[in-house]
Structure 1
Amino acid sequence: MSQPPSNPYPGSYPPPQQPGGYPPPQQSGYPVPQQPEGYPVPQQPEGYPAPQQPDGYPAPQQPQYGGYPTSGQPYGGPVTPAGPPPQKKSNVTRILLITLAVVLVLCLGGAAVLFFAAKGKVGEVVDATKTRVVAPATLAGRAKATDPTLQQGAQQLETELKKSLPDATSTVGAFYGEPAKKDLVMIAAASGLNANPGKTLDDTVSGMKSTDVEVGEMKTVDAGPLGGEAKCGDATAAQVPMGVCVWSDRGSIGMILIYFKTGVQAQAELATMRGQIEQKG
């Protein structure tokens, strides 16, 4: 009778060498415990990224929820959406320093110093000594500007005028209207004896053209019932259009600047505004 083969299932199990029907540990058909067959090493399971940053989720220090940062809150925590963007300052605020420091102090002040220095030569102009400039309660239907920045600017305007023109008999600087409605007016004027109104006017216009304010052609216009000479034209500062008018007579010099308007529009209001600013007798 033939003997059964020593290994009836070749290739499946090694021949038993110990009682009990179990193979010796060193030759088991199973992989060693350190790295089981078909499984990756425990340090980084297959198909999953490292524990520091789970697949499909951002790093824990800045999770996303609903498209907004959660400021360190756990997943599903309350959303802290970003607030509204800060409002940009108006164009008028951006060009306020330009109109104060450049147009007024360097232009109007520089020209006016010359005509006030000549006051000893014009003793015959008695009416000029009675001329005064004021800031009316309203200007051509516009109330004084209530914006704090413009109010502060008006105070600075008045201070600089008095500083530049110590011999002036009166000075005025003010803003009227509402920037939000694109209806804003700046006035600057001073009174005193003016020996040569025409030269003073030309000096003021020339001073404007030498500044950062872009001034177009200043045309001679009717100065109105108060007499003297006047010029109006278009100007631009910080890409904001402005209509500018300057007047000069024996007893005063003044400037009207209307934001968001043209020189023609400023000219149409020159006589009315000047009549409310300049007072004689």
Structure 2
Amino acid sequence: MSQPGDPYPNQPQQPYGEQPAPQQGGYPPAGQPYGAPLPPAPKKSKTGKIVLIVLAVVLVLCCGGGAITWFAVKDDVSDAVEATNTRVTAPATLAGRPKATEPELQAVVDGMIAEMKSTVQNETSTAGAVYGDPAKKDLVMIAAASGLVTDPKKELDEAFSGPDLTMSNVAAVDPGPLGGEARCGDSESEGIKLGICAWADKGSVGMIVMYFKTGAQAKAEFVTMRGQIEQRS
């Protein structure tokens, strides 16, 4: 039944929390915020399909649940200054890897950026991209946003305790010259190893996911990659 003020009063209303049925030839929307379906994978590439599914799962981890409250107002001048001077960007290359050009991957990235902009409050910049070559099992995804972060430790706690990915061997790591807190750990989805590192400081939150790699391998490149994503003036 439509409610007063509904923009489309004659449209059938879907019960809250109910996801639409999977579409033939595409992906089921489970795990994708708001039920938005992912684009179909190329039929010739099973790896491409798996990567897209994993990307969607990580997107939920990054942009759903607690991440909606990443950036809340806090009366702390030093924190506000750091946040104001912090931006994130998707560089042309990441630790020597070019941006991936596969249309299916780009479609997921575009959806990820749109979702981050719609759910992260008071953000000043967002960055999302995929780098490397899936055929060589060298693929990296980044997702980051800048803005005032009131509790960096809490953000990392929520990132690594989400229900969508089972993490193991999670440990604090050197955050690098940009400071804040950082952790890396291992995960797996659809038989693919995932090395995941995330950081949080007073001006940004970000995650780096290395497919087909371990958390230790992600840690080895984390500081370099973060330095290319996060910029502070």
What TM-score results when the alignment is normalised by the length of structure 1?
0.64
Q: Which residue of 2 aligns with 1:120?
A: 74
Counterpart among 211, 216, 223 of residue 168 in structure 2:
216
Amino acid at match of 1:120: K
With over 3 angstroms needed to count, the CA separation of the structure-2 counterparts of 1:199 and 1:170, relative to structure 1, is same
Q: Distance in 2 between matches of 1:241 and 1:174?
A: 19
* In 2: Cα distance, 1:215 partner to 1:137 partner: 29
Query: Where do residues 147-166 of structure 1 align in structure 2 (5 Å cutoff)?
Result: 147-166=102-121
1:203 to 158, 166, 169: 158
Change (3 A) 1:233 1:87: same
Q: What is the distance in 2 between the residues matched to 1:124 and 1:169?
A: 17
Tell me by how many angstroms 1:87 deviates: 5.9
Q: 1:114 touches 1:200 (CA, 8 Å); kept in 2? A: no
**What CA deviation, in whole Å up to 9, does each residue of 1:200-253 have, x standing for no partner?**
11111112xx11x33223111111111011110111011111100010101000
Is the 8 Å Cα contact of residues 169 and 185 (structure 2) preserved in structure 1? yes
CA contact (8 A) 2:172 2:182 kept: yes
Aligned positions, number: 191
| In the alignment, structure 1 residue 228 sits paired with structure 2 residue 174 | no
Output the amino acid matched with 2:117. K
Offset of residue 108 of structure 1: 4.3
C-alpha displacement of 1:195: 1.5
| Counterpart residue number, 2:99 | 144
Compare 263-272 and 149-158 and name the one that shifted more: 149-158
Matches of 1:265 and 1:92, distance apart in 2? 22
Tell me the residue number matched to 1:19: none
Identity of aligned residues (%): 53
> Hey, what does 2:16 align to over in structure 1?
none
In terms of mean alpha carbon deviation, does 156-165 or 243-252 score higher?
A: 156-165
Instruction: Confirm or deny: 8 A CA contact 2:55 2:108 kept in the other structure.
Output: no
1:276, CA displacement in angstroms?
0.3
Q: Which has the larger radius of gyration?
A: 1
1:105 aligns with 2:60: yes
CA contact (8 A) 1:220 1:232 kept: yes
Partner residue, 1:181: 136
Which structure has the higher relative contact order (CA within 8 Å, separation 6+)? 2
- Matched residues in 2 for 1:246 and 1:108: separation? 13
Unaligned stretches of 5+ in structure 1? 1-85
Q: CA RMSD in A?
A: 1.8
Residue correspondence of structure 1 range 68-79 to structure 2 within 5 A = none
User: Matches of 1:127 and 1:91 in 2, distance apart?
Assistant: 41
Return closer, same or farther for 1:128/1:166 CA change in 2, 3 Å cut-off: closer
The aligned runs of 1:41-56 (5 Å cut-off) are none
> Is residue 225 of structure 2 the alignment partner of residue 268 of structure 1?
no
What is the rounded CA distance, in whole Å, between the counterparts of 2:179 and 2:48 in structure 1?
Answer: 32
Please state how far the C-alpha of 1:132 moved relative to its aligned partner: 0.5
Do 1:215 and 1:233's aligned partners in 2 also have CA atoms closer than 8 Å?
A: yes
* Cα deviation digits, residues 163-208 of structure 1 (max 9, x gap): 111421111110000100110000000001111111111111112x
Q: Give the unaligned 5+ runs of structure 2.
A: 1-41
Residue identity opposite 2:52 in structure 1: L
- The answer on 1:91 being equivalent to 2:47 is yes
Letter paired with 1:94 = I
2:63 and 2:177 map into 1 onto residues whose CA distance is 22
